[in-house]
């Protein structure tokens, strides 16, 4: 039972002086979506024709120029859908649809029949080339595989000619390429090319798939580099890769294979496909985008793309799925929130320092690139800190509290979140802010303010202030270099007011018009213990806003 080990490390590929690790990607590959074939056949409930057509149109809008639309010889639905695309002129100029077939005559004939009237297309033929498939699945040796590949190619060529089809490219896949003897794979592909004859580079495609992921990503790249180094017809051939995700490495494998010389990528949006799926083109393409390379794909409305894919497939996109998940640009951690807030507020400084248009902590791309909004970046729960709370106040409500006030805001919000024991909304956060800094109940109330006189060109102000102290209404007078200092002077004449000094004062305007709202932030230091308390005032008049902030802070100091 234990004569052989259950698993072994995959044997290295004999690449001499491998070059791909030192390469740098210069341009995006040709993208081919296989959502409507590979992705669709993996769904528990395949797409209806209506959903498939909507999906096809979305792929065109995204920018795919090659789309594999089905396996016409395998099902009537796929045949009918292919015909629908062609006869109803749903395929725009410059877009090539691709159809899949095995290398058997009756399947090839049916496939060619499905393309009648097409303006340009790709016929994609596959033959399992690995010894595992040959010996275990089909009971065939390598000579049989070679014969099937060459004869299938010739049948397709003759079928196209007989049907009078023009502008038909040919794609051949040695299925299970990464589990196939690499030198045998080269021999098969060269024989297929010779059977097909001369071609433009874009019209003869060799797709070298990791049908089942058994190797580490770097070995896939090694196989691509080795293949390209041995294969003799590169001037007339496009090398394509098609990675499955059995070990969760499809994106890495494909990324590395592009460095090794692959020129075309087959995959699906969000990685839908058989077993653990195909390479996720969304993730791969946006990774390339984040490196400053134009991808030729448009994911600027990611939310809409997610909705179409979820509706068509019945599979929800995970909240933490790269780029597309609802929470991927959301931070709950307080330290992350604070860093994001500071990064967004210091974009110009970062640009000058790094000589880049985008460099923000914890955000490797600008969420706006894919139609996401900043206000969704930071959400608040009991793990959140002052940075996140302040960010929401800034982004959603326009408040810019001074830095010294941030810890106090964070404490108030965290106390509320701890009590609620779940995420709180921005409106709830604002209510916490109002309760703790604006609408503060206490022994002191401001009822009115009136300037009695101004001296020295307004440098000295004498004012009468109507107040309520411990429930008793009274009028007090004071003077200073402005309304705030005059009010503070008046309050200090009262023995029934706690001892305090103004510690800090700042103000802002919310809005650009003449009726913009003024906001004042005031901190007072309590004489008895030196503790500092913040208050916030809001009013159309900045002086009134400042006075309200003083009384809010004073009430807080008297009540805590």
% pLDDT > 70, the chain: 96
pTM to 2 decimals? 0.77
Residue 168: both structure tokens together: 């038909």
Residue 262: both structure tokens together: 């692959």
Q: Is the pLDDT of residue 514 over 60?
A: no
Residue 224 CA to residue 234 CA, distance in Å, equals 12
Give residue 134's Cα distance to chain centre.
Answer: 41
Q: Is the pLDDT of residue 379 over 70?
A: no
Q: Kindly report, residue by residue over 240-298, the tens digit of the pLDDT.
A: 999 999 999 999 999 999 999 999 999 999 999 989 999 999 999 999 999 999 999 99
Q: In 111-226, at which residue ranges do the beta strands (DSSP E only) sit? A: 121-128, 168-175, 204-210
Q: Kindly report, residue by residue over 105-128, the tens digit of the pLDDT.
A: 999 999 999 999 999 999 999 999
Residue 455: both structure tokens together: 């001296």
Residue 395 CA to residue 255 CA, distance in Å, equals 37
Give residue 72's Cα distance to chain centre.
Answer: 34
Domain locations in the chain as residue ranges:
29-313, 334-438, 444-559
In order, the DSSP letters of 262-321 are --EEEEBGGG--STT-B-BHHHHHHHHHTTT---S---TTHHHHHHHHHHHH--PPPTTS
User: Which residues are bridge partners to 533 per DSSP?
Assistant: 524
3-state secondary structure at position 463: strand
Residue 384 CA to residue 390 CA, distance in Å, equals 11
Residue 165: both structure tokens together: 């089809």
Answer yes or no: are the C-beta atoms of 146 and 187 closer than 8 Å: yes
Q: How confident is the model at residue 373 (pLDDT cuts 50, 70, 90)?
A: low
Q: How confident is the model at residue 382 (pLDDT cuts 50, 70, 90)?
A: low
Q: Kindly report, residue by residue over 468-490, the tens digit of the pLDDT.
A: 999 999 999 999 888 889 999 99
Average pLDDT of the segment spanning 188-214: 98
CA-based nearest residue to 446, from 425, 473, 411? 473
Ramachandran area for residue 498 (φ above 0: left; ψ -120 to 50: alpha; else beta): beta
% pLDDT > 90, the chain: 76
Count Cα neighbours of 190 within 13 Å in the Cβ-side half-sphere.
Answer: 13
Average pLDDT of the segment spanning 436-462: 85
Angle, in degrees to the nearest 10, between helices 105-114 and 142-163: 30
236 backbone dihedrals φ, ψ, rounded to 5°: -115, 15
444-559 homologous superfamily: Alpha-isopropylmalate synthase LeuA, regulatory domain (3.30.160.270)
Answer yes or no: are the C-beta atoms of 533 and 507 closer than 8 Å: no
From 150-164, 310-324, 368-382, the region with the lowest mean pLDDT: 368-382
Give the angle 76-119-281 at the CA atoms, nearest 5°.
Answer: 70
- DSSP-based helix, strand, coil % in the chain, nearest 5: 45, 20, 35
Answer yes or no: are the C-beta atoms of 537 and 550 closer than 8 Å: yes
User: Which residues are bridge partners to 178 per DSSP?
Assistant: none
Q: Kindly report, residue by residue over 334-366, the tens digit of the pLDDT.
A: 678 788 888 988 999 999 999 999 999 989 999
Q: In 430-531, at which residue ranges do the beta strands (DSSP E only) sit? A: 444-455, 460-469, 472-480, 500-510, 517-526
How many residues are there in the chain? 560
Count Cα neighbours of 38 within 13 Å in the Cβ-side half-sphere.
Answer: 29
User: Which residues are bridge partners to 209 per DSSP?
Assistant: 242
Burial class (CB in 10 A: 0-12, 13-18, 19+), 457: exposed
3-state secondary structure at position 164: coil
CB proximity list for 419: less than 8 A, separation 6 or greater: none
CA dihedral (258, 262, 267, 273) positive or negative: negative
Answer yes or no: are the C-beta atoms of 250 and 277 closer than 8 Å: yes
CATH number of 29-313: 3.20.20.70
């Amino acid at each position: 039972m234990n004569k052989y080990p259950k698993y072994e490390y995959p044997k290295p590929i004999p690449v001499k002086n491998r070059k791909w690790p030192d390469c740098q990607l210069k341009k995006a590959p040709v993208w081919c979506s296989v959502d409507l074939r590979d992705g669709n056949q993996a769904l528990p409930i395949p797409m209806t024709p209506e959903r498939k057509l909507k999906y096809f149109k979305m792929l065109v809008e995204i920018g795919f120029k090659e789309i594999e639309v089905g396996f016409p010889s395998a099902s009537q639905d796929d045949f009918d859908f292919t015909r629908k695309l062609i006869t109803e002129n749903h395929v725009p100029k410059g877009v090539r649809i691709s159809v899949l077939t095995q290398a058997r005559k009756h399947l090839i004939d049916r496939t060619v029949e499905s393309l009648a009237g097409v303006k340009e297309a790709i016929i994609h033929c596959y033959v399992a080339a690995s010894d595992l498939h040959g010996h275990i699945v089909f009971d065939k040796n390598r000579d049989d595989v070679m014969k099937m590949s060459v004869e299938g190619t010739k049948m397709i060529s003759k079928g196209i000619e007989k049907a009078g089809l023009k502008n038909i490219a040919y794609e051949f896949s040695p299925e299970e390429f990464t589990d196939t003897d690499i030198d045998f794979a080269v021999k098969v592909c060269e024989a297929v090319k010779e059977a097909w004859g001369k071609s433009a580079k874009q019209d003869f495609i060799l797709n070298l798939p990791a049908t089942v992921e058994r190797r580490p990503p770097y070995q896939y790249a090694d196989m691509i580099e080795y293949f390209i180094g041995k294969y003799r017809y590169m001037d007339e051939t496009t090398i394509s890769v098609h990675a499955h995700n059995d070990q969760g490495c499809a994106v890495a494998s494909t990324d590395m294979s592009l460095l090794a010389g692959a020129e075309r990528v087959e995959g699906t949006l969000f990685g839908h496909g058989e077993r653990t799926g195909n390479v996720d083109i969304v993730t791969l393409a946006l990774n390339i985008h984040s490196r400053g390379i134009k991808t030729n794909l448009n994911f600027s409305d990611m939310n809409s793309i997610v909705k179409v894919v979820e509706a068509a497939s019945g599979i929800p996109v995970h909240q933490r799925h790269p780029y597309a998940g609802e929470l991927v640009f959301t931070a709950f951690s307080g330290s992350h929130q604070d860093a994001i807030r500071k990064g967004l507020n210091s974009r110009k400084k970062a640009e000058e320092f790094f000589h880049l248009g985008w460099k923000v902590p914890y955000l490797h791309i600008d969420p706006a690139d894919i139609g996401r909004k900043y206000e969704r970046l930071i959400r608040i729960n009991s793990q959140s800190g002052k940075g996140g709370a302040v960010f929401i106040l800034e982004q959603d409500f326009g408040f810019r509290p001074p830095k010294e006030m941030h810890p106090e805001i964070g404490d108030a919000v965290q106390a509320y979140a701890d009590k609620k024991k779940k995420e709180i909304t921005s409106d709830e956060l604002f209510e916490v802010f109002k309760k703790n800094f604006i609408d503060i109940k206490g022994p002191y109330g401001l009822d009115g303010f009136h300037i009695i006189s101004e001296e020295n060109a307004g440098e000295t102000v004498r004012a009468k202030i109507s107040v309520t102290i411990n429930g008793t209404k009274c009028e007090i007078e004071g003077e200073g270099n402005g309304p705030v200092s005059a009010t503070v002077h008046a309050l200090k004449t009262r023995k029934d007011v706690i001892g305090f000094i103004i510690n800090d004062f700042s103000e802002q305007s919310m809005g650009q018009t003449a009726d913009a709202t003024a906001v004042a932030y005031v901190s007072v230091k309590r004489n008895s213990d030196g503790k500092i308390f913040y208050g916030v005032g809001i009013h159309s008049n900045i002086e009134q806003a400042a006075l309200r902030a003083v009384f809010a802070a004073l009430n807080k100091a008297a009540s805590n």
